[in-house]
Amino acid sequence: MAERIRVNLRDIINKEERLAPGHRLCAGCAEPVIVRQILLAIDDPVVVSTATGCLEVSTTVYPYTSWRVPWIHSAFENAATTLSGIEAAYKALRRTGKIPQDKEIKLIAFGGDGASYDIGLQFISGALERGHRIVYVCLNNEAYMNTGIQRSSATPRGASTTTSPAGKVIPGKVQWRKPFTHIMAAHDIPYVAQAAPHNYRDLMRKVKKAISVDGPAVLNILAPCPRGWRHPSDQTMAISKLAADTCYWPLYEIDHGKVIVNYKPRNKVPVAEWLKAQGRFRHLFQPANAWLLEEIQAKVDEEWERLLKEEANS
């Protein structure tokens, strides 16, 4: 997109919060920070659909709600499908004059990595294939945190979870994470991006781009989880930044087929610095698992170099 989108902090702080502070998400959880950033980036009215997960159960404990926008939850897997129906109804209401043609309403679906990478993958794929003008946001905390920290296909290789416990049999999860962002981009939709909450300007700029395109958009946003990642609650943003500095979690976008890497660290930090900050990787620093640390670093390097080549060739 030719237009340069800016995020002005003075504009943000004067806006009304659309997610009330009275939620029950854990101290240090990145999810409410990300949701606030997303909603503050949008000036138009918003309708939100949320999959089952930490965000849903913690913001809507009956009879209370933290949402100050129209909100709907149906099932674990089908937030994207629910929002697709809302989008179809919205178009029909505009077509019949019941909603003015010049009234813009933005449609956002939130799901965790379990609802996105796994359970809801085919529902998201269907919504993208049909071309609904919605934004799907994956709040990626890399496991099924809401139900007990079970591994998902977003969980990194080597992470210890309740269903991939590190021990004598396995050194944590044995598979690498699924390339969800690239899978979404393979649908040939207008806009796909990765972001992280420590860089709020980058994240909010990507939200503004996503809501402006004529068609579906997907945002995959890293959401550090103190409970599941086993890090202090005051280190969430530091760990988010380390993920980008190590190139474990590159900040990039695919805008109408063009790959743009938004952040290239001057001094790429070894991925071990990110891993050692989290208790779920503590076992990797035992001498017997040194080979796995080397393998993870090699994989991160390989993916980073591939991304840079994609940028150069797009």
- Tokens 């945190």 belong to 145
- Tokens 């813009």 belong to 104
Domain boundaries, the chain: 9-313
* Both structure tokens of 129: 């294939």
Instruction: Kindly report the backbone phi and psi dihedral angles of residue 104, in degrees, each rounded to the nearest multiple of 5, phi listed first.
Output: -95, 130
Task: Assess contact for 274 and 244: CB atoms under 8 A.
Answer: no
pTM greater than the 0.85 cutoff: yes
| Continuous H helices in the chain | 9-13, 31-40, 54-59, 79-95, 113, 121-130, 180-185, 200-212, 226-229, 236-245, 271-275, 290-313
User: What's the rounded Cα separation, in Å, for the pair 207 and 199?
Assistant: 13
Question: How much of the chain is helix, strand and coil, in % rounded to 5?
Answer: 40, 15, 45
CATH 3.40.50.970 fits 9-313, yes or no: yes
User: What's the rounded Cα separation, in Å, for the pair 66 and 99?
Assistant: 26
Burial (0-12, 13-18, 19+ Cβ within 10 Å), 178: middle
Q: What one-letter code names the amino acid at 282? A: R
Task: Assess contact for 143 and 154: CB atoms under 8 A.
Answer: yes
Model pLDDT, residue 3: 58
Instruction: Kindly report the backbone phi and psi dihedral angles of residue 205, in degrees, each rounded to the nearest multiple of 5, phi listed first.
Output: -65, -40
Q: What one-letter code names the amino acid at 18? A: R
**Residues of the chain below pLDDT 50:** 1-2
| Continuous H helices in 131-199 | 180-185
Model pLDDT, residue 163: 98
Burial (0-12, 13-18, 19+ Cβ within 10 Å), 219: buried
User: What's the rounded Cα separation, in Å, for the pair 222 and 195?
Assistant: 7
